[in-house]
Structure 1
Amino acid sequence: MLLIPHNSHISTTTMGTKMCRVLGLAIAVLFLATPLASAACNKDDLKALLSFNSSFPPHTLPDWINTEDCCSWAGIHCDDGTGRVTSLLFSNDDFNDFEPIDLVGNMPPSVGDLSELVGIRFSILPNLVGPLPHQLSKLKKLKNISIYNTNLSGPIPSFLSQLPALERLDMSASQFTGSIPPSLGSLAKLRYVDLSENGLTGGVPPSLFSRLDGSALATLSLRQNKLAGAVPRSFASVAFGSIDLHGNRLTGDPRFLFGKSKPATTIYLGQNKLSFDLTDVEYPVANLEYLDIGHNEIYGSISEQIKKATKLTYVDMSYNRLCGRIPSGGSFGNITSRDFSHNKCLCGTPLPPCKK
């Protein structure tokens, strides 16, 4: 997962938008890698797409009514040999491949009739509203769901657990509420979950990634929600490449997310209510690039071991209860005072010198 590091110069909203754009680009590349269609559009898919279009105001997608070859329509990608629709791509970001669109209304249930769909992407569509249709559960080959920066709402549907091929789930920057379904943990291939910038409540399900192969890197972003409770202890056995829990109401001791052998490049735990002793924490020095534990209730000192994280380019440990001398040199060569401000008794560069 590509993440934009949090810092004091970038607002949470702006950062979230940038994050979505980068995430969208990655998924767009996946979709556009689908071979260009040469076979004629499958008649059942054509029927489903015409029903899809008729659910929105007239001429929302005008080129869809000018030809029966749906594989040539904007936003549609087909299998080269069969003519079956494999992905839907509707976006108003900077790298779409068609003119700006405005889908006004609910996502039509006819999406579920496109039985060969592998990926769907609906992004930066502020007038797309309502819940996800249950008919999505029919798409047993669906690998990628990317729905961000919309006004879709309601709960994160538990029927998503009925999609056995699902690998990537991005439903960020929308209006989803309620709890995260524990049933998502039953998906053995799910390795990427981004539910950030919604109104989600409750706890983080311990079942998430519980069936994922231990050698597969997982990405989790739940930033800017209203989640509470402890970070699940079960996450100790998950190989997170990136975990972002910033801006919730999480409590407890998540030291099990750290460890010098962990593969994480990004650990964002800032702006929660976490409380633990940082003194003996070992950092994933081989890969760590971004570390945010600011605005918590963390105490203890900062281990000299962190200097071995040679890729570390961003750190925020501000607004905690830390004490002692800040390590100097190594990856800490470009730190600023605000990265460590408002602690109990930290001292040394870039803060005032320690008292002798």
Structure 2
Amino acid sequence: MQLLSRSSWNRFPIPFVGLVIVLLVSLASHTSSSTEQEKSSLLQFLAGLSRDGGLTVSWRHNTDYCTWKGITCNQDRKVTDVLLASQGLEGFISPFLGNLTGLLHLNLSRNSLSGGLPLKLVSSSSILVIDVSFNRLTGGLSELPSSTPPRPLQVLNISSNLFTGRFPSTIWEVMKSLVSLNASTNSFTGQIPTTPCVSAPSFAVLELSFNQLSGNIPQGLSNCSVLKLLSVGYNNLSGYLPDELFNVSSLEHLSLHSNWLEGDLNGISKLINLVTLDLGGNEFIGNIPESIGDLKKLQELHLDHNNMSGELPTALSNCTNLVTIDLKSNHFSGKLTKVNFISLPNLKKLIFFSTTSPAQFQKAYTPAAS
């Protein structure tokens, strides 16, 4: 910026010059205040740790906080990233991190943090990504006031903690930009939340496996028009696969292993983009429909530990991208030679314990393996 010369300043009246000086002082004061708040918020977080993993060596009062370990700032010296995964941290997560008004990414995963997840972080007006997975966080997710404006959060990973309770609907109603929710390996109860399917048009990943969820698979999942991954295995779900689920043609990975689901799989062929289909450990009956041959992208097929029966469909030979077929602990019958395993060049694993004799299994599978 080019500075004004003495003669240039002389052309301005005294009141104007005074106003400029006041504005400059005010701007400097505001900048100083902002930077102090940034540093103070980080130090408050540090103070909440009972074990800091050596952060105090880097995070010193008399040093530039933008150079501290795990901290990234933008050109305005606002903290944008707090990335402290796998640092051996213990203690609680300070809500003062929510005072970092430019914070975009918060990663505190793979530590030993305890206590709750501050609502101030989840409802932040700036944070896009929160990853606090693999800690010892407890409690539930709190409701947000109904007057809360839309929030920009896109990715929330709270997996592998000790969270309990139901998912509050008001949180998802304001997460208009949510793309991915991973809350697996906790102790959440209640039903599968479907509010993000309506409130967040880009919602693509719902990972809720290893919890205590119950009830039916909700029809509201049909509103998840761009959902790519639905994983709710190892819960207490029951009932049938709703027809509405088969309308989510964007699904690439469907995993519902180890629940109490029942019925047949006649509508599964509508999910033409499936790469992984894992329905093992349930109570499905009937045969594998001939239409499974329409799943051209299928790589993983797990139907083990069900009550399925009948012959294998010849159309299974059309699923040429298959790598794994696991059909053990069912009641299939007939000859395996109905399936041309030679046409499955990528097949690496075929697990089949049933009424079919070992000789028939060997005859069908050995050419494909070779």
Indicate the TM-score class for this superposition, using the shorter chain for normalisation.
0.7 to 0.9
1:202 aligns with 2:185: no
CA drift at 1:299: 1.5
2:49 pairs, out of 52, 56, 62, with 56
Contact 2:71 2:82 in 1 (8 A): yes
2:128 pairs, out of 107, 120, 143, with 143
1:253 aligns with 2:240: yes
Contact 2:121 2:127 in 1 (8 A): no
1:36 aligns to what? Answer: none
CA drift at 1:263: 1.4
1:70 pairs, out of 65, 72, 84, with 65
2:79 aligns to what? Answer: 85
Contact 1:142 1:165 in 2 (8 A): yes
CA drift at 1:284: 2.0
Matches within 5 A, 1:70-149: 70-79=65-74, 81-92=75-86, 101-126=87-112, 128-136=113-121, 139-149=124-134
- Output the amino acid matched with 2:253: T
Question: Aligned partners of 1:58, 1:152: CA distance in 2, in Å?
Answer: 16
1:331 aligns to what? Answer: 319
1:45 aligns to what? Answer: 38
Question: Aligned partners of 2:333, 2:287: CA distance in 1, in Å?
Answer: 8
CA drift at 1:331: 2.0
Question: Aligned partners of 1:336, 1:89: CA distance in 2, in Å?
Answer: 37
User: Alignment length, in residue pairs?
Assistant: 302
Secondary structure of 1:158's counterpart equals coil
- Output the amino acid matched with 1:205: P
Question: Aligned partners of 2:212, 2:334: CA distance in 1, in Å?
Answer: 33
CA drift at 1:175: 0.8
- Output the amino acid matched with 2:187: G
In the superposition, the TM-score normalised over structure 1's length comes to: 0.77
Question: Aligned partners of 1:191, 1:222: CA distance in 2, in Å?
Answer: 14
Summarize deviations over 1:286-336 as a string: whole Å, max 9, x none.
x21111001111122212222232322111101112122212412268676
Question: Aligned partners of 2:111, 2:320: CA distance in 1, in Å?
Answer: 41
1:154 aligns to what? Answer: 139
Secondary structure of 1:298's counterpart equals strand
Contact 1:185 1:209 in 2 (8 A): no
Contact 1:137 1:159 in 2 (8 A): no
Secondary structure of 1:123's counterpart equals coil
Q: Runs of 4+ in structure 1 displaced over 4 angstroms?
A: 160-163, 332-337
- Output the amino acid matched with 1:133: P
- Output the amino acid matched with 2:84: F
Question: Aligned partners of 2:36, 2:335: CA distance in 1, in Å?
Answer: 71
Secondary structure of 2:170's counterpart equals helix
RMSD value, Cα: 2.7
In the superposition, the TM-score normalised over structure 2's length comes to: 0.74
1:225 aligns with 2:219: no
In terms of fraction of residues, the more helix-rich structure is: 2
Unaligned runs of 5+ in 1: 1-38, 93-100
In the superposition, relative to structure 1, how do residues 145 and 251 fare at CA in structure 2: closer, same or farther (>3 Å)?
A: same
In the superposition, relative to structure 1, how do residues 202 and 89 fare at CA in structure 2: closer, same or farther (>3 Å)?
A: same
Question: Aligned partners of 2:203, 2:60: CA distance in 1, in Å?
Answer: 43
CA drift at 1:235: 0.4
Secondary structure of 1:189's counterpart equals coil
Question: Aligned partners of 1:261, 1:228: CA distance in 2, in Å?
Answer: 21
Contact 2:311 2:335 in 1 (8 A): yes
Contact 1:196 1:221 in 2 (8 A): yes
Contact 2:178 2:203 in 1 (8 A): no
Summarize deviations over 1:93-141 as a string: whole Å, max 9, x none.
xxxxxxxx22221111211211221121111102x10112233256211
In the superposition, relative to structure 1, how do residues 249 and 88 fare at CA in structure 2: closer, same or farther (>3 Å)?
A: same
CA drift at 1:219: 0.6
Question: Aligned partners of 1:203, 1:129: CA distance in 2, in Å?
Answer: 26
- Output the amino acid matched with 2:119: H
Mean CA deviation greater in 53-62 or 166-175: 53-62
Secondary structure of 2:268's counterpart equals coil
Question: Aligned partners of 2:63, 2:324: CA distance in 1, in Å?
Answer: 60
Identity of aligned residues (%): 25
Secondary structure of 1:77's counterpart equals strand
Secondary structure of 2:69's counterpart equals coil
In the superposition, relative to structure 1, how do residues 51 and 184 fare at CA in structure 2: closer, same or farther (>3 Å)?
A: closer
Contact 2:45 2:94 in 1 (8 A): yes
